Amino acid sequence: MSEKLRLAVFLSGSGSNFEAIAKNCAEGQIFCEVAVVVSNVPDAYGLVRAKKYGIPTIVCDHREYATRQEHEAVLRRELAAFRYDLVVLAGWMRLLSGDFIQAQYNRRLGLPGIVNIHPADTAAYQGVHGYEFAMGLTKKGPRLTETKITVHFIDAGMDTGPVIAQRVVPILPADSLDDLRSRGLQVEWELYSRVLNQIAHGRVHLADGRVRIEE
């Protein structure tokens, strides 16, 4: 790609993954730029981070709409004012409809138009509280010896889209949940930016539901 990959970052909370991406963009570490930050939570701290970087924001509180379709229609209308290539979910705590996902498909890239990061192996666990799952705190399995930070494309399921990249984070015997989360976030921040840079340089390909990355 001759132009930087333009990102629309969706967040619902503190925005630490967003800030890592924005910092790498600003420092020229990745061939990307954040075009807009979108939040469904009016007081999300990620919006404060966006202001610090001078990035435009869209606030669209889902609680003000009767249906997901109404909320997403407004999102799409607001997003139409911005030029972007890829939606980056960075702590976005809402499922997106199949219609919204399909509308984001990027024909220029030949790729799905939405990516997400998940703090667990998506083959083993989907949904929120991935670190808690890995620590055996969700009643859905024992404490594990490792978790896998996963970056994946979004499809209509919950954390079921094609995996782009994974990174193992060991769980040490003395680890608390905070220990694991702190160490895992460091990996999230590095891995997400790495994948976005690979997409920006046209090195990520998807065929028959499987991702191939040119080295």
The encoded tokens of residue 137 equal 């705190």
CA-closest candidate to residue 15, choices 117, 122, 149: 117
Q: Does domain 5-213 have CATH number 2.40.160.60?
A: no
Q: How far apart are CA 157 and CA 146, in angstroms?
A: 24
Q: What is the pTM of this model?
A: 0.95
**pLDDT, tens digit (0-9, with 9 covering 90-100), for 126-138:** 999 999 999 999 9
**pLDDT, tens digit (0-9, with 9 covering 90-100), for 143-166:** 999 999 999 999 988 999 999 999
Q: Is there a contact between 88 and 5 (Cβ–Cβ < 8 Å)?
A: no
pLDDT tier for residue 105 given thresholds of 50, 70 and 90? very high
Q: How far apart are CA 73 and CA 65, in angstroms?
A: 10
Catalytic residue among 62, 71, 118, 205: 118
Backbone angles phi, psi at 196, to 5 degrees: -60, -40
152 has catalytic annotation: no
Domain ranges in the chain are: 5-213
Question: Helices then strands (H, E): number in the chain?
Answer: 6, 9
**pLDDT, tens digit (0-9, with 9 covering 90-100), for 56-92:** 999 999 999 999 999 999 999 999 999 999 999 999 9
